[in-house]
Each structure stands twice: as structure tokens, then as C-alpha cells.
Amino acid sequence: MAGALEILGERWTLLIVRDAFFGVRRFDDFAQHLEISRAVLSARLRKLVEHGVLAKGGAEYLLTPAGEELWPAVYALISWGARHRQPASRRYSHLDCGTELNPFGECERCAIRPPARDVLIAPRRTKRWQRADPVSVALRRPHRLIEPLDTGREAGLGQAGRSA
């Protein structure tokens, strides 16, 4: 556990990994969504790349197979937070059958723990204030984990070109 925490235990690191599962790939999207300083983000991304959790491909950061193995741990933390801190704002379901994952990340209908690529994430209805950054807006649409999140940047749209 100590070895894993040397890589993942710094502040912000698990949130960066979580966002990578959500489909965030670009530096500016991580920075805006997490409201993290560029210097800290740069250092955390560099460390995740050095340790093989993320790979840098051009302007994007992608989960490696080792990074994808973190999904059960990330989901366990999300579930724990939903039970003990504040209700979940997102629903995670098995892509093949549509069944919502239980707190252990399992699809009870199919009796499996689907890999992240087979999980659909969708917002729950909430009366909470909704943020307007491009990642938060894109996360209002259901999508498959790990697939690139469409924040409008890929099409070269500026702030004025995005819809909320």
C-alpha cells in the first residue's frame, strides 16, 4: 500500500485519475475542471506518466493498462464518498445490461465487475448548483468511461462556441 501511495497519495492525484476515467485528456480541461494550479497539475501529470499510470500522446494524457487497473479502487472511493459524505451526482451502470453498479463496482444482474470501458456514466437529477466549465457541461451527457469527453476543445471551439 505504501508503494501505491507514493504514486497516488499526493493531493489532487486521485482526482486527476478519476477525471481520466471520465474521459478528460487535455491539460487545460484537467486544470479548469479541478481548479488546480497549472504548476501542481503539471507536476502530478509528470509523476503519473513517469510511473506508467498515464501516457502522454501529443496534447493528451491517456490511461495506460496499469492506470485502468485502478478503476475498482477509484470506484470504491466514489462509492464510499456517496455513502458517507454527499449523495452521488453520477450513476454508473454496466453498459451491456444497463444495471447500476453496486457499491463494490459489480453488476449484480450479470454477476461480474465490469472493467471501466464497459461502464456508462450518467448524471443523476440534482438540485445542486451546476458548474459551467467545459468538463462539467460535458459530464451532463451519458457516456462510456475512458472514451474521450467532448468538451468542444477538439473542434477548436472557444468559450463562446460552447453551449451550456
Question: Both 76 and 23 in a single domain?
Answer: no
164 neighbors 141 (Cβ within 8 angstroms): no
Span 52-74, mean pLDDT?
97
Q: Is residue 12 part of a domain?
A: yes
Tell me: do 52 and 110 sit in the same domain: no
Q: Look-up: residue for cell 445490461?
A: 97
pLDDT at 135 over 60: yes
Residue 97 reports pLDDT greater than 50: yes
Domain around 22: 2-68
Q: What angle do CA 94, 135, 52 make, to 5 degrees?
A: 70
The pLDDT score that the predictor gives to residue 155 is: 47
Specify whether 53 is located in the same domain as 105. Answer: no
d(CA 5, CA 14): 10
CA 8 from chain center: how many Å? 15
3-class secondary structure per residue, 100-147: ECCCCCCECCCCECCCHHHEEEEECCCCCCCCCCHHHHHCCCCEECCC
Greater confidence (53 vs 127) lies with 53
Q: What is the mean pLDDT of residues 98-114?
A: 97
Residue 87 inside a domain? The answer is: yes
Give the mean pLDDT of the chain. Answer: 90
Same domain, 117 and 139: yes
Same domain, 39 and 55: yes
Count of domains observed in the chain: 2
Answer yes or no: do 52 and 88 share one domain. no
In a domain, 164, yes or no: no
Query: What pLDDT sits at residue 127?
Result: 62
129 — pLDDT class (breaks 50, 70, 90): low
76 found inside a domain:
yes
CA distance 25 to 16: 10
End-to-end CA distance of the chain: 41
